[in-house]
Structure 1
Amino acid sequence: MRYYPLLLDLHHKNCLVVGAGTVGTRKIRTLLKASPKHLLVLDTAPFSTKLTRLAARHPELVLENRTFSANDLDQKHLVFACTSNRTLNAAIARGCQQRNILCNIIDDPQAGDVVLPSIIQRGDLLVTVSTSGKSPALCRTLRQELDCRFGEEYEILLDLLGRIRQAMLPLGQDSDDNAECFRSLVNSSLLAAIREKDTDEIRTILARLLPKELHPSIGALTHDLFPSL
């Protein structure tokens, strides 16, 4: 296994994207979802209207119409080389390696440290698929299959489990007891009840599996799971 899988918190990180074409724009949009501290984007061509509008809504996004300079790597934590110039992309890769900066190189993935997986997102649930850069086509196919597999019910289930976790912490129960409770919830018919939007069944399951101390809170835990109902 060449690549070590991880999820990276960018809230206090500075990022750089060189090249704002179709691929670069996709990287920019995904990066903004992770709320980096600062995102600098460089391109010698005029920026698209979509990107300028995006920058107007995101103060952390800075667009500069100019060529790349080695100094642009200063204080950066993650860099994407997305230009159509292989020589420039290779130079960015070398600069990042010299400074120990994580980088993704669009036309030569193995020249960088990072390959990006396909992502299926349901709220805080992230499912990622990677072929280590060997077959983007297979990655897309697998992503499409998983996208059908994981519906919005998984987002709602995870949200509910998060609420339950916060409610259970003050009880001071043994960690093994908590773990067993969550295993029971995950292995129950709770997901199916959420898929069917059956709030009565959801509350019945919770009353059966949650500690008695939380029974008075079941209504509060579930009252807004389905805002449209």
Structure 2
Amino acid sequence: MKDKNHFLPLLIDMSDKKVVIFGSGSVGERKANLFSEYSSVTVVSRSFSDTFFELERKNHITLIEADAGKLTDDDVNKIIEDAFLVIPATNDRTINERIVELSKAFNILTNEVDAIGDVTVPAVIKRGDLTISISTTGSSPAFSRFTRQQVEKIITPEFADMIRIQGEMRPYLKKEVPNQRDRKDILWDILESKEVWDGLEESYEKGFKIAQDIVRKKISEKVR
């Protein structure tokens, strides 16, 4: 059994990666919906729901109509050989285990349904450029979802706007404020400003203007 303490959260650019999913049940459908937003996805199954055909129509996934249990090792190898991640999500544990073993022969990462594989897929919260992942490493997916719901109450859409403000202010401050510590303090003042947060609740433009005023005031104080 894998040591859960060895799992490390990473953000990986999946744009040029291939993900192969075996199975088109609820798990396979959920994984296809998720990964098709980030990478090339191939799904292998005997049949497909309308959801899969809709994803295929939008050129988000490739469908291979085949019974995974009847595929030879060579057949499976041809499908997975250039994959970055393989997800065995059939309703047959034996088939899933076989796919895992074949994937390991190519040193391909696996996200397993019946066990803890090389990869676990966390619950994710996205607010603009902010990404928060929550995982119990397979111990309780329900608790991951519950935690995500609690965090979503705190991490409001204004967080994305604040990140945008920070991203726009940093280049300006690098030109206007030579001292790195001073730049850090100014950015932190913006983060802690209730006026900026209140402004963002009305509009990005209002929050940004208040942040600009803080920056101008701080720079003028440094110049004196």
Give the TM-score category using the shorter length. Answer: 0.7 to 0.9
- Runs (5+) with no aligned partner, structure 1: 214-229
Q: What is the deviation of 1:137?
A: 2.0
**1:33 matched to which residue of 2?**
37
- Following the alignment from structure 2 to structure 1, what is the Cα–Cα distance between the partners of residues 152 and 37? 19
Matched ranges for 1:125-164 at <5 A: 125-164=130-169
1:150-229 alignment runs, 5 A limit: 150-168=155-173, 173-189=178-194, 190-197=196-203, 199-200=205-206, 202-209=208-215
- Work out the CA distance in 2 between the residues paired with 1:166 and 1:198: 19
Partner of 1:225 in structure 2?
none
Gaps of 5+ in 2: 69-75
Give the Å deviation of 1:174: 4.8
Residues 38-96 of structure 1 show CA distances to partners (whole Å, capped at 9, x for unaligned) of 21111112x111221121113x5111111342321111111111111101111121122
What number of residue pairs does the alignment pair up? 207
Once the two structures are superposed, residues 137-182 of structure 1 have per-residue CA deviations (whole angstroms, 9 ceiling, x without a partner) of 2112111111212111112222232233355566684544433332
How far has the Cα of 1:114 moved from its partner?
A: 0.6
Q: Tell me, in whole angstroms, the C-alpha distance in 1 between the residues paired with 2:32 and 2:56.
A: 10
Q: Contact (CA 8 Å) 2:197, 2:207: kept in 1 or not?
A: no
Counterpart selection for 1:84 from 91, 114, 123: 91
Shift in CA distance, 57/212, structure 1 to aligned 2, threshold 3 Å = farther
| CA distance, structure 1, for counterparts of residue 49 and residue 171 of structure 2 | 44
Distance 1:67 1:168 in 2: 59
Offset of residue 25 of structure 1 = 1.1
Residues 188 and 92 of structure 1, relative CA distance in 2, 3 Å threshold: same
Pick aligned residue for 2:19 from 15, 25, 35: 15
Output the TM-score relative to the length of structure 1.
0.80
Identity of aligned residues (%): 25
Cα offsets for 1:105-144 (capped at 9, x unmatched): 1121x2x101111111222221111111111121121111
Q: Paired residue for 2:50?
A: 49
SS of 1:15's partner is: strand
Cα distance in 1, alignment partners of residues 90 and 21 from structure 2: 9
Q: Distance in 2 between matches of 1:186 and 1:125?
A: 15
